[in-house]
Copies of this chain bind each other. A is one copy, B any other.
Amino acid sequence: MLRTMAAMGIGTSLAACGSSSAAPGAPPAPPAPPPGGMPSPRPGDWPGSVGAGKSVVILGGGIAGMTAALEMTRLGYSCTILEATPMAGGRNKTIRAGDSIVETDSSQTCNFDLNNELYFNAGPARIPHHHEFLLGYCREFGVALETFTNENRAALMQSTGSMGGQPVIARRVEADTRGHVARLLATAINQNALDAELTAADKANILEMLRRFGDLDGSFNYAGSGRAGFPGQENTGSRQRDEQVNPLALQDLINETFWQQRQGFTDGLNQQSTMLQAVGGMDRIARAFEAEVASDLVTDAEVTEIRKTTGGVRIVYDRLGTPTQLDADFCVCTIPATVLRNIANDFSAAHQSEIANFNYSAAGKIAFQSRRFWEQDHNIYGGISWTTQDITQIWYPNSGFGQDNGILVGAYIFGGSAGTNFANLSPAQRISTAIAQGRNLHPEMNGEAARGISIAWSKIPFQLGAWGTSSPLTLLTPDENIVFAGEHLSILQGWQEGAILSAYYAIDLIVQQT
């Protein structure tokens, strides 16, 4: 128990927030206390036929539930997945022409054109290269992957309170920040301010490194850099390739928290290059898992009761109006806490309390079909622009380059009050809001961004939230023959890899009891 709890890294989310990092304004999480080399469970750890003759009911057919079914079947357990909706995948959801997004108080139909590249990953949309288990399943199942660009130096940064509210091309912020930092440190070194810790040789070496780091001149001054680009670079065929832009002032880069906070996002371990995406939409992964566990999957099965029996569990679920009872030796419950708290159950008071109080992000997104003006007029091929406005981010498609049209994610709001505000808007209001804000970065959005479709995860039935944000404790312990799983219980909250790690953890708890 101690071993697996330590391995789960209780309360030490390395990079919470689904396919994103901490919301703007939130400081980075403190580093996790090292768990002392405690191993975390994974396939290969368990005896080959440990589950023979034992049954498991898995609640929820998302990535966690399907991983549990897949691996436990391999161990000999007899598995049944109860999935409340008509399709497995959970929050791994890709929207294409004709698909619906049904929220608790609205319904939308996607009217994109029918085209392989015109899809909207409403849930997870990127995969870090070291999410080895998820990537291993992609390899095993033959899911094609391609590069996802997190950091595009041609993308924009826009703060309403700085630079007159004008968007600035990311390469200028990057180059000038490095230039100023390098220049200031070189100044201090040359004034002998750091002689207490730097030898003469160190000083010479670090000055040379700083010159390259910041693109300083021979006197260790920073007077701008070709790294920041040239004027007119957003017009096809710039006539000014040889000209240098003036550097942004240090004060402009640090006077407002927005510019501070953009430092380091793509340096985070879960946001570093190379990032990946599934070719044709993230749900290719859900479909591949689904194909593996199809024989164990019961869809349209809404769980209404979770009961303990002597040495086992009893689940009552409603399938298209018909109540059904299912007994099993074990239960893996991956239902989000937001949903689980409203299902009749026999959980211990401690488990019920943690479920009742578990917090979730109210993240949301909106997508538009548009001419690829970002490629044709601004040389933006994939990546993300940032703004201090509620829409937070604009995502450009990372594939289908050169096609006439693409899907622009016009807002990706991680949660917080902006997320709640977004959820409280009607679908039509979300469209007008996203265009009103987006055109401060891209005037073309006013007129060219069309067919908007949005998702507020806090209003999606059977999810009621985007990802868990509380630190789990009791839910990492079994409640008799019931164990819990889901991204919210992992050290990678909000990531598909977290869902998988949580499934391995749950399997380990059951194997220990088998």
Residues of A within 8 A of B (CB): 7, 9, 12, 14-15, 28, 31-32, 34-35, 37-40, 42-43, 129-130, 132-133, 135-136, 138-139, 142-149, 151-154, 171, 174-175, 177-178, 181-182, 184-185, 187-189, 191, 193-194, 197-198, 201-202, 205-206, 208-210, 212-213, 215, 224-227, 229-230, 233, 236-244, 250-251, 253-255, 257, 259-261, 263-264, 267-269, 272-274, 276, 375-376, 379-383, 398-399, 401-402, 491
Given A139-B402, A268-B226, check contact A35 B242 (CB 8 Å).
yes
Contact A226 B31 (CB under 8 A): yes
Contact B272 A171 (CB under 8 A): yes
Could you tell me the distance in whole angstroms from the C-beta of A173 to the nearest C-beta in chain B? 11
Given A181-B181, A381-B276, check contact A132 B251 (CB 8 Å).
no
Contact B212 A39 (CB under 8 A): no
CA distance A242 to B10 in the complex (A): 10
Interface centre among A130, A213, A274, A401 (most CB of B within 10 A): A274
Oligomeric state, in number of copies? Answer: 2
**Chain B neighbourhood of A142, CB < 8 A:** 402
Contact B401 A146 (CB under 8 A): yes
**Chain B neighbourhood of A154, CB < 8 A:** 129-130, 272, 274
CA distance A149 to B147 in the complex (A): 8
> Can you name the residue of chain B whose Cβ is closest to the Cβ of A240?
B37
**Chain B neighbourhood of A210, CB < 8 A:** 181
**Chain B neighbourhood of A38, CB < 8 A:** 239
**Chain B neighbourhood of A31, CB < 8 A:** 224-226, 244
From B136, B182, B197, contact of A181 by CB (8 A): B182
> Can you name the residue of chain B whose Cβ is closest to the Cβ of A272?
B153
